[in-house]
Amino acid sequence: MQALMQTIGLQLSTADRILLKELDWQIQAGECWCVIGRNGAGKSTLLRTLAGQRPVDKFDGGQILVQGKNIVAWSLSDLAKERAFLPQGRVDAFGYRAIETVLSARHPFHDTHYWESQTDIDIAMAALHELDVADLAQRDVRSLSGGERQRVAIAALLAQDAQLMLLDEPANALDLAHQVSVMQLFSRLCREFGKAVVMVSHDLNLAHRIATHALLMMGDGSWLAGPIEQVMTADQLSLCLGHPIERFEHGDQTIFLPKNSHDHN
């Protein structure tokens, strides 16, 4: 089966250090990947690079393939039909309504028409309903709370209807109930509709609950990738995050907790 996305010998660097060395990685339909690492490990840089928003430059190396084709060979409009990207944080400079924000994600599909069709409007409203913000459709996005704005952004991601979704801390700014419901939504999209998700998350418990696979970025260029039960062990997470982590089983849930500092002195 051809991977939705594949990296071959990918190396990511900043001017003064290597973030990733020789990343050979495949993302298949139906998989939900969580990217884990401490601050500054390069998680957001990796996501921007996978999205095609950061070119593999002179400091880097390797290839990124989308549906078997080098990412640099895709046109922007065709690439937008294959992958969607939710960056971390955003600034709304203009007073667009929430529905207009979501409809903008339908632009790649406007091959033969300029204005949105009724189908586009129906898809956008369905996405707003899915994220529990349909009642905010006519609101100026600048008037929304951080959590409401984040759910509108995720609704736009859904409306784009790409098979591969790249998400930088999608649960950020959401209250607990919406954190859980949004994560469960991504899990269901992978399980039932063959979507694939790659998300950065600092919540180990929420990530473990919905992810099928994990990529650990160790901070020195090394990495570990595979199914969560093989990768998200206490020892490997402790090494990745630079702090001792304990793993507990509670009923049918797995819980990760940081050890208190006095427990490992």
Domain harbouring 148, CATH code: 3.40.50.300
- Predicted pLDDT of residue 91: 66
- Predicted pLDDT of residue 112: 60
**Range 143-174 burial, b when 16+ CB lie within 10 A, else e:** ebeebbbbbbbbbbbbbbbbbbbbbbbbbbbb
- Predicted pLDDT of residue 84: 96
**Domain boundaries, position 13:** 5-263
- Predicted pLDDT of residue 114: 58
- Predicted pLDDT of residue 96: 87
Number of domains in the chain: 1
The whole-model pTM stands at 0.92
For the sheet with 164-168, list strands across it. 83-86, 164-168, 196-200, 32-36, 213-217, 223-227
Tokens of 48: 């921007």
- Predicted pLDDT of residue 68: 95
- Predicted pLDDT of residue 265: 47
Bridge partners, residue 7, by sequence: 25, 64
Instruction: Give the Å distances, CA to CA, from 248 to 226, 251, 253, 257, 261.
Output: 20, 10, 8, 8, 18
| Segment-wise mean pLDDT, segments of 10 residues, the chain, 265 residues | 93 88 97 96 95 79 94 92 89 79 86 72 96 96 93 96 96 93 96 97 93 96 97 97 94 90 54
